[in-house]
């Protein structure tokens, strides 16, 4: 039996395996509302056997969206279409999670395939951005407004309201997006946070926004369901947020009752030199896990079933998240099961896909679809 297909518990939620669909923006929503694209995209990956399907970054306020086409969770009307998705994911035996996000100074940008740099103008559907300090992301971006304390309090409340809506929509796991240079990360890093009040300066102060957000979210989210936090373990930039601070943060998150830290990296500053390659962020997850005792998720160029299994066996992480490989192959988990000699049933509707005999002649064995993985 492979570890990758060994179920794992977080609080009262059991993931049937340790493969998660990493959150991936689809830039395909109108007014933040999920639609058929999201249902089919996410549903296909649940059909493909992932144990956890994490819905893309959902803006907790309209201004928190990266692009005008991002998903949102800032109003109750957004609950029903999300509920349709969680229902379908659960019907496939997977668990539905969602990432709660605010893009801060990286908000109001063009969706990637439009191929335009910088901010979307207000006349074109964009908006003014906010951040801990009035420092733009790069030379193409608008300068954000530095957040007032009153506005900070409102944003913390917006995360909590997002958590409440996520629960109503049927999600069993939420992930707070504190990575990739978005708002929470902007507070963490001294490169983007130059405040001189209690939200800037010392480690204690730079982590305050995240800590207060977690406490507010915990009030709004059922105790029996887990909360994950995604971080960028390092900015890969001089004088930026680094792995030592990440380890210290993980210790504090553990004390607060966070269930898993999902370890990514980069995104805070343009032109960071990131040593990209297979499993390039797994070492960061391993260090955080070893030194903080908090469960970790690892993400980043994980494409091979044996690689994923190795990461778990060597106790570098507890959960393996895949993004682009699951775009290339939504059935990656089912193929991985075969590669790791683990019997996992294909959905009965697809069971004959695993047989190479004449499909019109064969009498399928509907009683044991698991047998399909062994041929």
Ligand X SMILES: Cc1cc2nc3c(=O)[nH]c(=O)nc-3n(C[C@H](O)[C@H](O)[C@H](O)COP(=O)(O)O)c2cc1C
The residues of the shown chain that bind ligand X, judged by CB under 6 A, are 22-25, 56-57, 99, 177, 179-180, 230, 264, 299-302, 322-325
- What is the nearest approach in angstroms of ligand X to the Cβ of residue 304? 12
Compute the distance between CA of residue 18 and CA of residue 251 in angstroms, rounded to an integer. 23
| 260 sits in which H/E element | strand 260-264
| Sign of the torsion formed by the C-alpha atoms of 213, 216, 220 and 221 | positive
- What is the nearest approach in angstroms of ligand X to the Cβ of residue 263? 10
CB nearer to ligand X: pick between 166 and 351: 166
CB nearer to ligand X: pick between 112 and 125: 112
| Sign of the torsion formed by the C-alpha atoms of 169, 171, 174 and 177 | negative
Compute the distance between CA of residue 44 and CA of residue 350 in angstroms, rounded to an integer. 12
- What is the nearest approach in angstroms of ligand X to the Cβ of residue 151? 23
CB nearer to ligand X: pick between 121 and 327: 327
Number of H helices, E strands in the chain: 11, 13
- What is the nearest approach in angstroms of ligand X to the Cβ of residue 105? 16
| CA 203 vs CA 16, 151, 198, 207: distances in Å | 37, 21, 10, 6
Catalytic annotation present for 27: no
Compute the distance between CA of residue 88 and CA of residue 84 in angstroms, rounded to an integer. 6
Exactly one of 27, 182, 199, 225 is catalytic; name it.
Answer: 182
- What is the nearest approach in angstroms of ligand X to the Cβ of residue 264? 5
CB nearer to ligand X: pick between 157 and 304: 304
Compute the distance between CA of residue 239 and CA of residue 179 in angstroms, rounded to an integer. 17
CB nearer to ligand X: pick between 284 and 299: 299
- DSSP string of 177-244? EE-TTSHHHHHH-TTT----STTSSSHHHHTHHHHHHHHHHHHHS-TTS-EEEEEES--SSTTS--HH
**φ, ψ (nearest 5 deg) of residue 27:** 50, 45
Q: Which residues are the active-site residues?
A: 182
């Amino acid at each position: 039996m492979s570890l990758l297909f060994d179920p794992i518990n977080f609080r009262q939620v059991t993931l049937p395996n340790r493969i998660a669909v990493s959150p991936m923006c689809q830039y395909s929503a109108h007014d933040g509302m999920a639609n058929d694209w999201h249902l089919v995209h996410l549903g296909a990956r649940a059909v493909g056997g992932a144990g956890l399907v994490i819905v893309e970054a959902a803006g907790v306020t309209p201004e928190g969206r990266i692009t005008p086409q991002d998903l949102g969770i800032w109003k109750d009307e957004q609950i029903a279409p999300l509920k349709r998705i969680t229902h379908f994911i659960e019907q496939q035996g997977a668990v539905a999670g969602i990432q709660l996000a605010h893009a801060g100074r990286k908000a109001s940008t063009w969706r990637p395939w439009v191929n335009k740099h910088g901010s979307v103008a207000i006349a074109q559907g964009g908006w003014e951005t906010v951040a801990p300090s009035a420092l733009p992301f790069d030379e193409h971006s608008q300068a954000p407004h530095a957040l007032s304390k009153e506005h900070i309090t409102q944003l913390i409340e917006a995360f909590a309201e997002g958590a409440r809506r996520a629960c109503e929509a049927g999600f069993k796991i939420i992930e707070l997006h504190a990575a990739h240079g978005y708002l929470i990360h902007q507070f963490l890093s001294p490169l983007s946070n130059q405040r001189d009040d209690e939200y800037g300066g010392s480690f204690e102060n730079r982590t305050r926004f995240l800590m207060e957000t977690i406490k507010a979210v915990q009030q709004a989210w059922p105790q029996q369901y887990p909360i994950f936090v995604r971080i960028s373990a390092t900015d890969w930039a001089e004088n930026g947020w680094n792995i030592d601070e990440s380890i210290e943060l993980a210790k504090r998150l553990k004390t607060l009752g966070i269930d898993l830290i999902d370890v990514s990296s980069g995104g805070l500053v343009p032109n960071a030199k990131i040593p990209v390659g297979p499993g390039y962020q797994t070492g960061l997850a391993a260090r955080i896990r070893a030194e903080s005792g908090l469960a970790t998720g690892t993400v980043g160029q994980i494409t091979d079933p044996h690689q994923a299994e190795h990461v778990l066996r060597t106790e570098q992480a507890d959960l393996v998240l895949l993004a682009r490989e699951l775009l290339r192959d939504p059935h990656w988990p089912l193929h991985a099961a075969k590669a790791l000699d683990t019997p996992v049933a294909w959905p009965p509707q697809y069971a004959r896909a695993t047989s190479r005999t004449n499909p019109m002649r064969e009498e399928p064995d509907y009683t044991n679809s698991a047998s399909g993985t062994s041929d």
